[in-house]
Structure 1
Amino acid sequence: MKIVIAPDSYKESLSALEVATQIELGLLEIFPEAQCIKIPMADGGEGTVQAMVEATQGHRVDVIVTSPLGEPVTGFYGLSGDGHTAVIEMAAASGLALVPPAQRNPLWTTSYGTGELIAAALDVGARHLILGIGGSATNDGGAGMLQALGVRLLDAQGAELARGGAALAQLDRIDTSRLDARLATCRIDVACDVDNPLTGPRGASAIFGPQKGATPNMVAALDASLQHWAAILRRDLGADVEGIAGAGAAGGMGAALLAVLKCRLRPGCEIIAQAVGLDAAVRDADLVITGEGRIDEQTIFGKTPFGVATVAKRYGKPVIGMAGSLGRNAQVVHAHGIDAICSVLSRPCSIEDAIAEAAHNVRSTARNVAALLAIGQALRT
C-alpha cells in the first residue's frame, strides 16, 4: 500500500513535516509494510518557507532587511535543496507581526524589505522565486519593494519619493531603467488567494487597511494614493492593473508584481504542489492523507487540504483530512474531494494542552484511521 501524506502545519504546534511524521508513525503501527511518502505542504502563507525547505531538503537563509517601519530586522527566505528556487514570505520582512499595534500606520509602512529579500535570493543564484504575499503591514502598492529592486519613483521635482502609502500621492513618474536586470531571467510565482482589485470598496485600502491600523480618513487617503499609483502605472508602463483580481492583495503589492515584474498570481497551494512534485507522488498512490490545524467551511477556499484533494481527485484517489479541530460546516469539504475528516483531539481540553499533546494525538488518530481501514479490508474479504 502506498500512502501519500501531505499536510499543512498545525499553527503554533507542529510543522508540516512533524505532522506528516506522526501520521506515518501511526499508520505503520497497523500497516508496517506500507510505503509512506511524506510531502510537507503549505498554501503560500505562514509556514511556506519551512514546508518547502523540508520538502526539498533545502535550508533557511537569514538576511538583515528593512522592516515596515524602516528599521533593520532579521528577515529570511528558504532555498531549495538544488539551490535553484527561493521561497519568500512577504510577512518575514514586511509583515504585520513586525509592527507593534500602537505603531501600525499604513500611511508610512513600507514593503522595501520584501524587495531586499528578493535581491538577496538573486544574489545566491536563485532564478525561480515563489513569493507568498499574505500577512503584510503595508498599503504602499508594492512601491517599496520596487524601490529596493532599483525602480525610481520620482516627484514633480525629480526627487525620490519617501517610503509608505501616503507618499504615492506625490508620484510624478516611474523610471524602471535601473530595475535589477537579473529579474529578466527569473520566473516569479506569486501565491495569492484573494481576488480584490487595487482600489474601490473592495480594494486594498478599504478591505485590508483597517486591520493594518488605518482609520476611515486614512482609508480614503490611501485609496486615493493607490488610484494615483494605478494611473501612473498605466501612463508610464502601459499596465492597466487597477481592476485586475488580486491587484489589491498585500496592500496593492499584487499591482506592482503584475505591472512591473510581470508576474502571474496563482493559488498558493497550486504553486507549492507543483514545486514539491505532489502530482507525480499521488498518481500511483492508494490513499492520500492531508490536514491542517483546523478544517472548516473556509478550507475549500484555497487552503492546503482543498489543494491536495484537487490533485488527488484527478487520479480518483481517496482522501482523508486530519485536523487539529473541526470547525463550522466542516462537512462542506466532502463535496470538494475530501472523503472523510477527523479531529485529532481525544478529549475536551485547553488550547495549551492541545498544543502540548499534538504529536501524540496526531499519531494516535492516524493509528485509529489505519485500524478502521484494516477493518474495512477484512470485511470485504
Structure 2
Amino acid sequence: MKIIISPDKFKGSLSALQVCEAIHKGIKRFDSAIETILHPLADGGEGTLDVLDSALDLETIDVEVNDPLFRPIMASYKKDRQNAYIEMAAASGLPLLKNEERNCLHTTTFGTGELILDAISRGVKRIYLLVGGSATNDAGIGMATALGYTFWDQQGKEISPVGNELIRIKAIDSNNLKVNLSEVEFFVICDVKNTLFGKEGAAYMYAGQKGADEEAINHLDKGLEHFSRTVQSAFGMDISGLEGGGAAGGIGAGAAVFLKAQILPGIQTVLEVTGYKEKLKGVDFIITGEGKLDEQTIQGKVIHGVDDISRANGIPYAIICGVVEDFEKVKRKLNAVDILQVKSPDISLDSAINDAAFHVENLAYELIKNQSAQLKAR
C-alpha cells in the first residue's frame, strides 16, 4: 500500500511538515510495510515558502531591506537558477512590528520591492510573490517605489509610499525604473479573492487586523479607490474588479499594474510547482488536513485542492484536522472517506494545541486501522 501525506499546517501548533511526520508515525505504527510519501502543502499564505523549500531544495538569500516602518532589517527569500520565491511577510509582515506599532496607514511594502530587486539582479526569470501575513495597505506602491516608480501629488511633490498617501496620488512616473521588468515573469500567489476596495476590499476586510480603526479603514478604502482611478488614467488598466486585487493590502492589484503579474490561486500553484500530480503514480490513499476545518476550507484552501485532485484521479482521501466547524455542511461538500479531529470532549483545547503531534499520530493510526481493509481490496 502506498499513501501520500499532504496536509497544511496546524496554525499556532504544527508546521505542515510536522503534521506529515506525525501522520507518518501513526501509519508506520499500524503497519511498517506501508510506503509513505511526505508532501506538505500550503495555499499561498503563511508557511508556503517552507513547503516549497522542502519540495524543491532551494537556496536561501539574505538581504538587508526596510521593514514596514522603513527600518533596516535582514530578510530572506528562496531561489534556484531560474525562479525566486519571495514571502512578502519576510520584509513587510505584521509579525515584524510590536502591537503598538501596527497601523497600516503608515506601513509600506518597500522592503518587498527590495527583495524583488535583489532577485532580479541575480538573474532569475520568474518571481513568485507569496503575499500572506502583510502589515500593509499601500496597494504595492512601496514595492513599486523600491523598483524605481515615483508617485506625485497635486503640487508635484513626491509622496511617501504608505497607505495614508494613496488618496493624494495625482501622477505615476515610470521613467526611472532600476531594472527591466519585462524580462521577468511575476506571479502573485494568494488564498483570497477579495477585490481592491469596497466592503469586500482590502481595507474593510483586513485593515482592522493591521491596527486601523474605523476612521482609518474608511480613509484607506477611499485611497484604494482613488488609486484604482489613477491607474486607469495612467495605464488604461481597470483593476477595480480584479479578483485577488485586494490581497495583502492591495499588493495583488499593485503587482498586476507595476509588475504585470498574474494572480494565481495558492493551492493549485503549490500543487503544480511541487510536482504533486507526478507523485500520485501508484498511490492508493491520500491523507490531508489543516488546523481548522470550516466553510472557508471549501473556498480554495489546501483540502479543497486535495479534494479536486482526489476526484480527478480516483484516489480516496481522508482528513485529519485540529477542529471541525459546520461538520455536516463541510462533509456534504467534500468527498473525503473520513474526517477526524483532534478536539473532542476528552481533549482540552490546550492539549489539542500543545500536544497536537501526539494526537495526530494516534488519529492516523486509527484512520489506517479502519481503512486498511477497504484499501487492500481496491
Give the TM-score normalised by the residue count of structure 2: 0.91
Deviation at 1:47, TM superposition (A): 0.6
Aligned residues of 2:285 and 2:375 also touching (Cα < 8 A): no
Q: Distance in 1 between matches of 2:322 and 2:229?
A: 46
Is there any run of 5+ residues in structure 2 with no aligned partner, and where? none
Tell me the percent identity.
38
Is 1:107 aligned with 2:140? no
Q: Distance in 2 between matches of 1:106 and 1:221?
A: 11
Change (3 A) 1:40 1:371: same
**2:105 partner SS:** coil
- 1:297 alignment partner in structure 2: 295
Let me know the Cα RMSD of the aligned residues. 2.4
Q: Distance in 1 between matches of 2:78 and 2:16?
A: 15
Q: Distance in 2 between matches of 1:315 and 1:112?
A: 43
Change (3 A) 1:32 1:334: farther
- 2:160 alignment partner in structure 1: 162
- 1:332 alignment partner in structure 2: 330
Aligned residues of 2:291 and 2:322 also touching (Cα < 8 A): yes
Deviation at 1:102, TM superposition (A): 2.3
Is 1:320 aligned with 2:338? no
Aligned residues of 1:110 and 1:138 also touching (Cα < 8 A): yes
Of 246, 249, 265, which residue of structure 2 is paired with 1:248? Answer: 246
**Counterpart AA for 1:199:** F
Aligned residues of 2:284 and 2:375 also touching (Cα < 8 A): no
Of the structure 1 ranges 270-279 and 209-218, higher mean CA displacement relative to structure 2 is found in 209-218
- 2:19 alignment partner in structure 1: 19
Aligned residues of 2:154 and 2:168 also touching (Cα < 8 A): yes
**1:337 partner SS:** coil
Q: Note the alpha carbon deviations across 1:21-71, whole angstroms, 9 max, x for none.
A: 222232223333332221111111111111111111224444332111121
Aligned residues of 1:297 and 1:333 also touching (Cα < 8 A): no
Deviation at 1:314, TM superposition (A): 0.8
Is 1:132 aligned with 2:130? yes
Q: Distance in 1 between matches of 2:365 and 2:219?
A: 56
Deviation at 1:321, TM superposition (A): 0.8
**1:299 partner SS:** helix
Q: Note the alpha carbon deviations across 1:318-352, whole angstroms, 9 max, x for none.
A: 01111122233365145233231112457734444
Q: Distance in 1 between matches of 2:54 and 2:235?
A: 39
- 1:142 alignment partner in structure 2: 140
Q: Distance in 2 between matches of 1:224 and 1:337?
A: 42
Of the structure 1 ranges 128-137 and 315-324, higher mean CA displacement relative to structure 2 is found in 128-137
- 2:261 alignment partner in structure 1: 263
Q: Note the alpha carbon deviations across 1:147-185, whole angstroms, 9 max, x for none.
A: 111212223454432121122233222122333435323
Q: Distance in 1 between matches of 2:185 and 2:331?
A: 33
Aligned residues of 1:295 and 1:330 also touching (Cα < 8 A): no
Deviation at 1:308, TM superposition (A): 1.6
Change (3 A) 1:375 1:316: closer
- 1:188 alignment partner in structure 2: 186
Instruction: Report matched runs for 1:343-362 at 5 Å.
Output: 343-344=341-342, 348-362=346-360
Q: Distance in 1 between matches of 2:148 and 2:191?
A: 28
**2:144 partner SS:** helix
Change (3 A) 1:40 1:183: farther
Give the TM-score normalised by the residue count of structure 1: 0.90
Aligned residues of 1:282 and 1:312 also touching (Cα < 8 A): no
**2:322 partner SS:** strand
**2:295 partner SS:** coil
Q: Distance in 2 between matches of 1:330 and 1:266?
A: 30
- 1:174 alignment partner in structure 2: 172
- 1:68 alignment partner in structure 2: 68
- 1:3 alignment partner in structure 2: 3
Q: Note the alpha carbon deviations across 1:63-93, whole angstroms, 9 max, x for none.
A: 33211112123333233xx443322222222
Is 1:91 aligned with 2:89? yes
**1:338 partner SS:** coil
Change (3 A) 1:111 1:2: same
Consecutive aligned runs of 4 or more in structure 1 exceeding 6 Å deviation:
none
